[in-house]
Structure 1
Amino acid sequence: MKKIYVLDTNVLLHDPNALFNFLEHDVIVPAIVLEEIDSKKRNADEIGRNARYVSRLLDGFREKGKLQEGISLENGGRLKVELNHLSFFKMKNTFAEITNDNRILAVALNYKLEEEEKSSPKSVVLVSKDTLVRIKADVLGIKAEDYLSDRIEKTTDYTGYNTLNIHPSIIDEFYTFRNITIDHLKFKHKLNPHEFVILKDELGTSKSALLKVDDQVKKLDALYLSNDPIWGIAARNVQQRMVLELLLNDDIPLVTITGRAGTGKTLLALASGLLKVEDENKYKKLLIARPVVPMGKDLGYLPGEKEEKLRPWMQPIYDNLEFLFNTKKSGDLDKILAGLGSIQVEALTYIRGRSIPNQFIIIDEAQNLSKHEVKTILSRVGEGSKIVLMGDPEQIDHPYLDASSNGLTHVVERFKNEAVSGHITLKKGERSHLAQLATDLL
């Protein structure tokens, strides 16, 4: 049976193509939603871009008929801009204040009451990414849902590595030949390119081996790298060893790293980038960027030039660089960076429209990027470049993203089967014992 979906503004600002994702059902856009979209269309960020895109879509729909009367969509559904359901009579004893949210709720409530009077009523659903709007809808007896169409469907929580208990003779065979075919191990599930496998003795001894799947997913090879320090940084656990293997492999242009704060994501990526750029001259420049949340937010309220405006947002990067360069005094790092000229720290605001060839690119806090933003960034990567996306999907500051809908999670899931990428989830904190306890307990 057909349903009636009433859309909140934040759904369209999050995904402007949401209008097409409700199949054969009726889609209602309250008039106040148009007002809110209009107020956002001049923004220079992702929300502004989406507002302009929705505006163009709705303008194009006018050619099909009058929006206030409803038009047919190609997927069999029907779109209508609702002008009349503004009565607050049924809400005055619950939410009397005339706010934009309450106007949207009033539209949904009045549709629900109208349908209940019909012999074959349609179910009315309010779709909103605002948890409080959904709670208020529930109070009014309106069915409410989050917008879920953009969430990535995880087949597993992919970590980039597996542990396999096996007979010790096979571990001995690996150490003799330095590789082993995947068919020989008879995994119960499919492996991915550049995935790591830890072999452990099923008899309980300490015998073990660490291997990596080749890009053809036919055999497991020994790690290419030793555990020697990189710019004074050595792996402190097996997952960090895996990360360095991916970061320093020039044949893997895309690396994704997830993990909680303190697991070493930024430090390992910076150390690897410095080695590749300054010591090996594999890349011309080390470009480090992180989103100013939300991406593209106007920085004009901060005093000074661009570098001074960015400094508070980029300070975590500078803290790690100070550690790697072992600077003692304030201002020493700025002198070093000015002298080198090959290290650039930017906000993602300034990456749009660029082509970035032959560079080692690090994108920190990538969990605060939407799917469109991360697509925009990856499409900037030029020939001969390597890009590292890292962040904690459980620590998101963006108002419309969560652990399942953010750009970093999207890239991990979409690229896990591709030979051009590798992924590792770091789980053990190495910042300090106190930091690890805080992460676990708080």
Structure 2
Amino acid sequence: MPQSQAEHGAQNTSKASSSEASSRLNKLYVLDTNILLHEPLAFTSFKEHDVVVPMTVLEELDYIKDSKKDVARDARVSIRAMEDLLRDASPEQMLEGVSMRGLGSGQASPSGSLSIFADLSMNKTQQVFTSNENDNRIINAALHLQAQHAPREVVLVTKDINMRLKAKGAGMSKVQDYRTDQLITDIKYLTKGYYEFEGEFWSKVKTVESVTEGRDTLHKLDKSLVPDPYINEFLVDETHSFAGIIEAMDDTTLDVLDLGYERLMSRRAWGISPKNIGQAMALYTLLDPHIDLVVLTGPAGSGKTLLALAAALEMVVEKNMYDKIIVTRSTPEIAESIGFLPGTEEEKMAPWLAAITDSLEALHKNDENTKGSMSYIMEKANIQFKSVNFMRGRSLQNAIVILDESQNLTASQLKTIITRCGEGTKLICAGNLTQIDSNYLNALTSGLTYIVEKFKNFSGSATISLDGVVRSRLAEFAEKEL
């Protein structure tokens, strides 16, 4: 029987009210520019919720994509991704919102919409801030959308702390940081790379099966002995009577290689030996050719760069295991300033890689001719200084790559560098999470923190958090007291 016009109208009204109720449940996220620079595809991370990008954000991305800033590539990636989604949309559809279904896979795939808000067309009576600064324009847009879509929840998302304060003060109900890349809630929970037992290790062990092959002894232990164990995690105790590393594990047991505390402490590389157990564990992972990624974290003066360079020289010059050493680092100023410095790429990078040359000088300070030794070793070990920006597009084969100051990189930037590493390449990432220079990062959202947590269950990687300043008693006191 055909539907009456009244029934048909009632059904349409029901569908409209259902759609309206559904849209009220979904939040509306307004993104600041720094979110898309921090993670270019961030607009796809809000699941069933809708995302709005103000026109001012597109203007800022347009300016940055052609600049010499180190985030220019991220701006271009974000613009291309949005253009791919909105390419076939009409102007009306772009303002209304285009569905993001199909952009991802699995439970993380977005089902909300992406729209562009023409905040430039807002008249002065709709604006709280009258100055024309970009941050103020974005806040004005968020406030306008909050009023327009009430009672639906509208959230401004920005990594700029001051902008969050301004937005709240101007009347924005919901303002938050971008947290999808944050794997831990507090930096104290960051993986250290080792587990220290109180008292003596063997007093904690109830059952063990030991097998000796040549000089190596492997212990099969109960998995419950170690809370949340993972591959390449070191096990040590307070009494300095045991040191081992987890080589394999299953649902119930751990295979622990007995390293011997004294043997671990007596290892040497390029004439230096560890000053504490943390450095000893770091040196072990650095010299192990089966570990492709070593992450060293710790305070200034804990020996990260010196150990990395000593191990690299040992493996390239003495053992001929690798062909070259590539040294790079990231600081916010490099991309903008390097072009104005004279000389080759290596000479341009020299001011920022002084920590490496200082460490190289320290390793040869007792030679008769320190400068001559340094020049000889730099040529012999084929040490190359490279800018992070020039690492993209390369494929690094049979090399040791030392990435210093890696706490200033985002997860996507670190991914770019890690995926450059080809067959037979070892990557050493060193960084101090208390010395982050980036405006968009903190200790929890740094790419260094991200890869420590992401790679902790990968058998080809190891993390060591160095504790204790060994540079000097002055540096040690400053690290503790200042």
TM-score (norm 2): 0.82
Identity of aligned residues (%): 36
Q: By how many angstroms is 1:154 displaced?
A: 6.6
| Structure 2 match to 1:427 | 467
Q: By how many angstroms is 1:176 displaced?
A: 10
Q: Which stretch has the larger CA shift, 427-436 or 58-67?
A: 58-67
The question of 1:232 aligning with 2:298 is answered: no
Q: Which stretch has the larger CA shift, 154-163 or 416-425?
A: 154-163
Counterpart selection for 1:52 from 66, 72, 76: 76
Q: By how many angstroms is 1:158 displaced?
A: 0.8
Cα 1:294/1:274, change in 2 over 3 Å: same
- In 2, the alpha carbon distance for the partners of 1:271 and 1:56 equals 43
| Structure 1 match to 2:141 | 107
| Structure 1 match to 2:130 | 96
- In 2, the alpha carbon distance for the partners of 1:414 and 1:295 equals 27
Q: Which stretch has the larger CA shift, 216-225 or 262-271?
A: 216-225
1:198/1:211 contact within 8 Å kept: yes
| Structure 1 match to 2:192 | 159
1:87/1:106 contact within 8 Å kept: no
Counterpart selection for 1:71 from 92, 95, 98: 98
| Structure 2 match to 1:259 | 298
Please, which runs of 5 or more residues in structure 2 have no aligned partner? 1-24, 102-109
The question of 1:86 aligning with 2:122 is answered: yes
| Structure 1 match to 2:390 | 350
User: What letter matches 2:167 in structure 1?
Assistant: A
Structure 1, residues 238-292: CA drift from partner, whole Å, max 9, x if none? 1111011111111111111111111000001111111111111111112222124
Q: By how many angstroms is 1:213 displaced?
A: 1.3
1:171/1:199 contact within 8 Å kept: no
Q: Which stretch has the larger CA shift, 128-137 or 368-377?
A: 368-377
Structure 1 counterpart SS, 2:340:
coil
Cα 1:171/1:29, change in 2 over 3 Å: closer
Cα 1:360/1:54, change in 2 over 3 Å: closer
| Structure 2 match to 1:247 | 286
- In 2, the alpha carbon distance for the partners of 1:181 and 1:341 equals 38
Structure 1, residues 7-63: CA drift from partner, whole Å, max 9, x if none? 111112222212112222232211111111111121355522222222223323131
- In 2, the alpha carbon distance for the partners of 1:44 and 1:207 equals 51
| Structure 2 match to 1:148 | 179
- In 2, the alpha carbon distance for the partners of 1:171 and 1:79 equals 56
Greater fraction of residues in helix: 2
| Structure 1 match to 2:35 | 11
Cα 1:331/1:110, change in 2 over 3 Å: same
Please, which runs of 5 or more residues in structure 1 have no aligned partner? 201-205
Q: By how many angstroms is 1:317 displaced?
A: 0.8
Counterpart selection for 2:244 from 211, 228, 232: 211
Cα 1:88/1:13, change in 2 over 3 Å: farther
Q: By how many angstroms is 1:432 displaced?
A: 0.9
User: What letter matches 1:48 in structure 2?
Assistant: A
Q: By how many angstroms is 1:389 displaced?
A: 1.0
Q: Which stretch has the larger CA shift, 135-144 or 405-414?
A: 405-414
1:258/1:391 contact within 8 Å kept: yes
Counterpart selection for 1:138 from 168, 174, 179: 168
2:211/2:219 contact within 8 Å kept: no
Structure 1 counterpart SS, 2:221:
helix
| Structure 1 match to 2:56 | 32
- In 2, the alpha carbon distance for the partners of 1:176 and 1:324 equals 39
1:112/1:124 contact within 8 Å kept: yes
Q: By how many angstroms is 1:305 displaced?
A: 3.5
Q: Which stretch has the larger CA shift, 399-408 or 244-253?
A: 399-408
Q: By how many angstroms is 1:185 displaced?
A: 7.0
- In 2, the alpha carbon distance for the partners of 1:226 and 1:99 equals 57
The question of 1:220 aligning with 2:251 is answered: no
Q: By how many angstroms is 1:366 displaced?
A: 1.2
Cα 1:34/1:339, change in 2 over 3 Å: closer
User: What letter matches 1:106 in structure 2?
Assistant: N
Q: By how many angstroms is 1:332 displaced?
A: 3.9
The question of 1:413 aligning with 2:482 is answered: no
Q: By how many angstroms is 1:308 displaced?
A: 2.8
Matches for 1:275-424 after TM superposition, within 5 Å: 275-293=314-332, 296-326=335-365, 332=372, 335-337=375-377, 339-340=379-380, 342-424=382-464
User: What letter matches 2:398 in structure 1?
Assistant: N
- In 2, the alpha carbon distance for the partners of 1:154 and 1:137 equals 24
TM-score (norm 1): 0.89
1:292/1:348 contact within 8 Å kept: no
Q: Which stretch has the larger CA shift, 331-340 or 232-241?
A: 331-340
1:199/1:209 contact within 8 Å kept: yes
- In 2, the alpha carbon distance for the partners of 1:354 and 1:113 equals 49
2:219/2:258 contact within 8 Å kept: no
- In 2, the alpha carbon distance for the partners of 1:249 and 1:154 equals 32
Structure 1, residues 220-239: CA drift from partner, whole Å, max 9, x if none? 22227561432231111111
- In 2, the alpha carbon distance for the partners of 1:431 and 1:283 equals 29
- In 1, the alpha carbon distance for the partners of 2:372 and 2:339 equals 27
Structure 1 counterpart SS, 2:339:
coil
- In 2, the alpha carbon distance for the partners of 1:330 and 1:252 equals 32
Structure 1 counterpart SS, 2:142:
helix
Structure 2 counterpart SS, 1:63:
coil
2:184/2:190 contact within 8 Å kept: no
2:69/2:335 contact within 8 Å kept: yes
Q: By how many angstroms is 1:434 displaced?
A: 1.1
Between structure 1 and structure 2, the one with the greater Rg is 2
| Structure 2 match to 1:203 | none
